[in-house]
Structure 1
Amino acid sequence: MTHRTHQRSPSPQPDPSEPGLLKRLKSSHISGTGAASSATVDPTPHFAPDLFGPSNIHRLHTEYDASAPFKHAVVDKLFQDDLLQRVKDEALAELSFSEKETDIYKVYQTGDLASLNFLDLQQIALLPSLLTLRDALYSPMFRSFLRAVTGCGPLSGTKQDMSIVSYRKGCHLLNHDDVIGSRRVSYILYMPLPHYQGWQREWGGALELYPVRSSPDGVPEPEAVPSKSIPPVWNQFVFFEVQPGHSFHSVEEVVVGESEDGRQRLSISGWFHAAQPGEEGYQPEHEPELKSSREQLVSTQTDFRTYPENIEPPLPSDSLTEDHVSFLSEFLNPVYLQTRTMKALASRFVEESSLELHSFLCAPLADKLRVGLKDKDDADGLGPSRPTRIPPHSAGAEGAWELRGPPHKWRYCTLRAPGGGGRMAVSPRWAHTDPDDAVRSLQDELLPSPAFRAWLACVSNLLPMRYSAEARRFRPGLDYTLATSEAKDTRLDVVLGLTPQIEGHDTAPASGSGEEEPLRGWQSGEWGAWECYMAPHDEEDDPAVYRSGSHKKKVNGVNGTNGANGHVANEEAEMADVDDEDADEDEEEDDGTLLTVQPGFNRLLLVLRDEGVMRFVKYVSAAAEGSRWDICGEFEIGMVQEESGDES
């Protein structure tokens, strides 16, 4: 398939042209003449007393210089409280919030408030306090205040960049550095609801700041765990200079809903840009020495391993050798070792470029993992009865598992290298094997084996040349991978899902009417953690935006529904039919999603990934009642030359 170039934005972007900024007046009423700006009016009375006093500025500057993990400032009270109350009321009554979700965030957001300049008088009358606050923020006095505290240099008064953002239950913003274009200072002004009660830390929504370390190639990257957490407080203003490779931050997931006293993490956020052409102090932007977090995402590389040179590479065929079958029988459901099954899978894979194989592992191994991994979540404080919805960053990252970052690319747990350094002997007696050792055997024994390589060649008609294999644990409220497209050639992705299904959530019980109830939990998409493949986007597109993890999407024969392409094996090795009805309806909605697969247990996903196609594992919500577990394999593939000399 043909793909386009991709431009990716790491943080929510208000769209100035987005309709529906106002609830009550149609966008056709917007006038291009603009309204008179109040920027020339003295803004001092709107701010908290003594904000601009020399002693206060000196104190903030001193605190700013000494702050960690990177320079930032916190103003406890920015505006007069009655003004902010009116702004909050106007925003909730008059503005429209749109849900936005990508690999890196889920938020509800208004359009760009810079477009308020183009409202007519009738519309302006609905938002007097909001206009007053915006003009005060971008006034020369306040920009001078920011320069004095941060030493950031001249700031633009004409390029305004702000919106109102609502973080409701499940909303989050993952790690990034805010570096885009001419942004100079990032800010957030909190208006959490309900105001009278005060926002509780256990509700989530804290601003998290990350220290940096030097990567092996000398580039600064964020540590996996934040070192400072700032919970939202009414009228509090947090700001910092945007710096490539340093200003890494995230917003913790909100874990309370609007139904609970109207709770939502409401805020005004945006950026002050460097002085623009024609403004005092303007200087042409120079290329930064360090790459932004967005640029680093497209420079990731997989660490491939090579197969032993003394082993002949397998050729695609319809059957395996006796030695291969003997080895694989220790791991796989025997139906997938039958010639008839492999031939049918190969035919389907050539047609669709993806397969999802259910009940892939043999029953003893599957039973050990089903019970053992669920018990491990419970023991590590990651199960349904954990004391807090958002677990501590250390949860599950001890013992056999360790934390892997950097979080501006991914965060999850992976198995530590074994202390002995040797290969673990494979045993058929899985009932007596620790679940960690069972997972390690899949990572270290099954996926790298010549036998599994031969099996892949049979069911894909491809030749695996080099491989990577990694056991991964994505913890609720903490872990994810972000969209990357580092592959310069076609790859074969192999993901063995080991996520135990939660009783009462991942099934659709029949209701009294005879109809199935909606899926919940993993299969509904409400817990996140789905595997997503996306086509590259044009620069003008809203990057990496997709509608929902539970939506079907069919592109060039790849059907991305829950279990679509799901070939359920039974004793007769029959393959389940693919339901394309809903997928056909969604084909008209070109959101770039090629394939979406929900977490599952004992399921093998095979995907032939074209050059430039992005993939990610969606952030696992704190609502999830356990971790997402898998073994992730990636294979470089070669072409097989037939005797005639033609390539196939």
Structure 2
Amino acid sequence: MKRSSESQRHQSKAKQPVMEEDKVKSLFNEKIWDPEFQQGLKSEISASKPYNWGSIRDLVNDDLLRAVRKEIETEIHFTKKETDIYKVNQSGDLANLSGLDWSDLSRLPNLCKLREILYSSVYRDVISYVTGAGKLSGSKMDMSINTYTKGCHLLTHDDVIGSRRVSFILYLPEPGKTWKEHYGGGLRLFPSIVANVPHSDHSAKLVPQFNQIAFFHVQPGFSFHDVEEVRVNKHRLSIQGWYHIPQENEPGYIAGEEEKWVQTNTSTLAQLESSVLQDYEFPKSERDILPYHQVKHFEKIIAANDVSDEVKDETPLSAISDVGILTDSEVEYLAEFLSENYLSEQGIKNLQQTFLEKSHLQIDSFLNEEKSELLKKLIKSDELEKECPYNASEVRNPWKTAIPPHKWRYLYIDGKSHEKFGSEQDILNTLNKEELPNYTLLRKTLDPSANETECKLIDVVEFLQSSIFKKYLALVTLLCPLSEQIMIRRFRPGKDFTLATQINKSELLKNVEGYVDAVLEGSLCLTPTDGWGSGEVGGYELYMDNQDDNADKDVEDAAVYKTDDTGDSVLINKPPQWNSFNLVLRDESVLQFIKYVSWAAKSSRWDISMQWDVKTVE
């Protein structure tokens, strides 16, 4: 009975009249029906780089598009959305208009008309022909409206979701005015080193104009693109959509084709989680195994200090164990770098208790004043007086560029020799080196006068690598470090980020007795400017819960991790702050990322990133 009533209600809806072909054609620029124009566009697209893409200026009737823009401005509600991969103002899915009464759509007649002609058979045939993508579905509609305002962006991805075959963007910035390149908001396309590994830098860019459409054949592992950040207080309005593989009872339908396509072609997220591509990721997540005698020493320290809370409350740290206490010479060494507040017996005990309760520490003013002021002076000087390289080919020793850019992009120093990643052979050559990090050796290759900042940062890294600091770390966390990886990083404004990923557990340490299924992560933030607190310019380090098994990754963009509206999934949100040390015990259920740094940031985001495999000690 329920099904019958629903059916009757559905049948009673008034439907939008189907437009005749002549009417559809009249609403487009007449040039697109010209066989000579189509052939020229097809040739242009087939020869385009870095993959098959094209654009058409003045696509549809100008009056129609102006009316569409007015309807959007007056009738459509936009919601600000921000994740690791984008920041955008987004409307609902226009495909949902298909299920509404025509009377409900009467306030959006021009938008509905535009949607109908874009999915009309005659226009789809043109797109199918010029892109060489094959037949396209007219029933599976997939459109949304986005407005990119100042600070909005969309990071690198390849649009491989479900049955998408062609992507398109119809631009609607303010009509009658030129959208200039320095406004930002351009569509940028990235060449690939090999399949699923895009170059760090784009090789083609489209500066959008009113009534211009850009489109490309979705090519798994190759159609990488992004939308550069909008830098001005203007609205870059656009309609984003996709054409899909033909559905059942449509021309061009092939039974089983969509299922095969979905199974064969992985989304950007699936690529990032694939072990197949790990050889092409730099920097490597491999952590260096600590010497056996060091680990045993740390075990004794932890065992001596890991006493019950009752005893700990009544017993001073110095009386717990002679093994666990820092010697005078060790305290003296630590004091060369660390603030004395965190070296006293009570200071260590306070840190220890906080970490045991929360599995997380935030330590402000971590380095002592002398080291802090020197580093701040040098980093600020670099920001003001040295030109920061923005293209991978311009990056010089000791810095490198993290790749691939659909996972992360930033500058880093990892203690190894300089590398270039212009081709697959470059990457294979690097893999064949099997080079271990050696910051001491790296420093000898640097000119101290030209690289004073880098040399002083390496001093801090060598301190963090010392057995005395790791003993201090073991005292604070009561976890035994088994391995380590330490890097210096710089996230450039308008360029750099990391997307949300899970920890990559070390296969070498899986079977170590007492191994906890987690990694201890540290980040010493050395960002020399303020203005980061609101989060508007990005750069914040965010940890979030990833235990939602109900996400429909065929419907939602699997390249995007979402936080819920209440923010319940966010565990830690740490904006850049000078000389702040963030320490987190993290397992596989927790995602972490550094949010894209906006052009509006006053400086780069600088930090020293640390990871230790750790185990508990009974």
TM-score (normalizing by structure 2): 0.81
Matches of 1:477 and 1:151 in 2, distance apart? 35
Aligned to 1:304: 287
Task: Determine which of 579, 589, 593 is the counterpart of 1:612.
Answer: 589
Matches of 2:74 and 2:347 in 1, distance apart? 60
Aligned to 1:584: none
Please say if residues 38 and 132 of structure 1, whose CA atoms lie closer than 8 Å, have aligned partners that are also in contact: no
Aligned to 2:206: 230
Please say if residues 164 and 218 of structure 2, whose CA atoms lie closer than 8 Å, have aligned partners that are also in contact: yes
Matches of 1:530 and 1:86 in 2, distance apart? 40
Aligned to 2:366: 360
Offset from partner CA, 1:173-223 (integer Å, 9 cap, x none): 000111111111111011112x22211110100111001113xxxx53011
Aligned to 1:295: 270
- Using the TM superposition, name which of 165-174 and 373-382 deviates more: 373-382
* Per-residue deviation, 1:33: 2.8
Q: Which runs of 5+ in 2 are unaligned?
A: 1-8, 279-283, 306-316, 318-324, 419-437, 506-516
Q: How does 1:500-579 map to 2 (within 5 A)?
A: 500-502=528-530, 521-536=531-546, 537-540=548-551, 544-546=561-563
Task: Determine which of 495, 503, 522 is the counterpart of 1:494.
Answer: 522
Aligned to 1:171: 152
Task: Determine which of 452, 476, 486 is the counterpart of 2:493.
Answer: 476
Provide closer, same or farther for how the CA distance between residues 400 and 112 of structure 1 changes in structure 2, counting only shifts above 3 A: same
1:136 aligns with 2:117: yes
Provide closer, same or farther for how the CA distance between residues 610 and 312 of structure 1 changes in structure 2, counting only shifts above 3 A: closer
Provide closer, same or farther for how the CA distance between residues 102 and 493 of structure 1 changes in structure 2, counting only shifts above 3 A: same
Matches of 1:395 and 1:604 in 2, distance apart? 32
Give secondary structure in 1 for the equivalent of 2:151: coil
Provide closer, same or farther for how the CA distance between residues 323 and 406 of structure 1 changes in structure 2, counting only shifts above 3 A: farther
Aligned to 1:436: 454
Aligned to 1:327: 333
Matches of 1:395 and 1:525 in 2, distance apart? 30
Root-mean-square deviation (Å): 2.7
Please say if residues 31 and 120 of structure 1, whose CA atoms lie closer than 8 Å, have aligned partners that are also in contact: no
Matches of 1:425 and 1:637 in 2, distance apart? 27
Give secondary structure in 1 for the equivalent of 2:32: coil
Offset from partner CA, 1:56-81 (integer Å, 9 cap, x none): 11111111110001111111221121
- Structure 1 ranges of 4+ moved more than 4 A: 29-32, 287-290, 416-422, 430-433
* Per-residue deviation, 1:457: 0.9
Larger relative helix fraction: 2
Provide closer, same or farther for how the CA distance between residues 330 and 150 of structure 1 changes in structure 2, counting only shifts above 3 A: same
Please say if residues 73 and 238 of structure 1, whose CA atoms lie closer than 8 Å, have aligned partners that are also in contact: yes
Give secondary structure in 1 for the equivalent of 2:92: coil
Provide closer, same or farther for how the CA distance between residues 72 and 32 of structure 1 changes in structure 2, counting only shifts above 3 A: farther
Aligned to 1:33: 13
Please say if residues 152 and 241 of structure 1, whose CA atoms lie closer than 8 Å, have aligned partners that are also in contact: yes
Aligned to 1:204: 184
Question: What is the identity percentage for the equivalent residue pairs of Structure 1 and Structure 2?
Answer: 39
Matches of 1:290 and 1:478 in 2, distance apart? 28
Please say if residues 414 and 488 of structure 2, whose CA atoms lie closer than 8 Å, have aligned partners that are also in contact: no
* Per-residue deviation, 1:339: 2.2
Offset from partner CA, 1:138-170 (integer Å, 9 cap, x none): 011111111111121221111100011100011
Aligned to 2:431: none
Please say if residues 192 and 199 of structure 1, whose CA atoms lie closer than 8 Å, have aligned partners that are also in contact: yes
Offset from partner CA, 1:225-264 (integer Å, 9 cap, x none): 111111111111111111221010000000111xxxxx21
* Per-residue deviation, 1:309: 3.5
* Per-residue deviation, 1:490: 1.2
Q: How does 1:68-79 map to 2 (within 5 A)?
A: 68-79=49-60
TM-score (normalizing by structure 1): 0.77
Q: How does 1:186-205 map to 2 (within 5 A)?
A: 186-193=167-174, 195-205=175-185
Aligned to 2:385: 379
Q: Which amino acid aligns with 1:545?
A: K
Offset from partner CA, 1:340-383 (integer Å, 9 cap, x none): 2111111111101111001111222111111111111112356x
Aligned to 2:421: none
* Per-residue deviation, 1:397: 3.7
Please say if residues 503 and 587 of structure 2, whose CA atoms lie closer than 8 Å, have aligned partners that are also in contact: no
1:466 aligns with 2:483: yes
Number of equivalent positions: 533
Give secondary structure in 1 for the equivalent of 2:30: coil
Please say if residues 415 and 442 of structure 2, whose CA atoms lie closer than 8 Å, have aligned partners that are also in contact: no
Give secondary structure in 1 for the equivalent of 2:581: strand
Aligned to 1:159: 140
Task: Determine which of 82, 106, 114 is the counterpart of 2:87.
Answer: 106
Aligned to 1:14: none
Q: Which runs of 5+ in 1 are unaligned?
A: 1-28, 258-262, 383-390, 503-520, 548-587, 642-648
- Using the TM superposition, name which of 297-306 and 522-531 deviates more: 297-306
Task: Determine which of 344, 347, 350 is the counterpart of 2:353.
Answer: 347
Offset from partner CA, 1:395-417 (integer Å, 9 cap, x none): 99445423222110000011275
* Per-residue deviation, 1:628: 0.4
- Using the TM superposition, name which of 142-151 and 413-422 deviates more: 413-422
Matches of 1:187 and 1:51 in 2, distance apart? 16
Please say if residues 377 and 396 of structure 1, whose CA atoms lie closer than 8 Å, have aligned partners that are also in contact: no
* Per-residue deviation, 1:290: 5.7
1:453 aligns with 2:464: no
Please say if residues 210 and 222 of structure 1, whose CA atoms lie closer than 8 Å, have aligned partners that are also in contact: yes
Q: Which amino acid aligns with 1:612?
A: S
Q: How does 1:14-93 map to 2 (within 5 A)?
A: 33=13, 35-38=15-18, 40-42=20-22, 43-93=24-74
Offset from partner CA, 1:481-505 (integer Å, 9 cap, x none): 0000144531111000101133xxx
Provide closer, same or farther for how the CA distance between residues 623 and 48 of structure 1 changes in structure 2, counting only shifts above 3 A: same
Provide closer, same or farther for how the CA distance between residues 203 and 189 of structure 1 changes in structure 2, counting only shifts above 3 A: same
Provide closer, same or farther for how the CA distance between residues 30 and 496 of structure 1 changes in structure 2, counting only shifts above 3 A: farther
Provide closer, same or farther for how the CA distance between residues 402 and 34 of structure 1 changes in structure 2, counting only shifts above 3 A: farther
Matches of 2:158 and 2:96 in 1, distance apart? 25
Offset from partner CA, 1:522-566 (integer Å, 9 cap, x none): 11212110000111133337763347xxxxxxxxxxxxxxxxxxx
Task: Determine which of 274, 293, 317 is the counterpart of 2:245.
Answer: 274
Q: Which amino acid aligns with 1:83?
A: L
Task: Determine which of 229, 235, 242 is the counterpart of 2:218.
Answer: 242
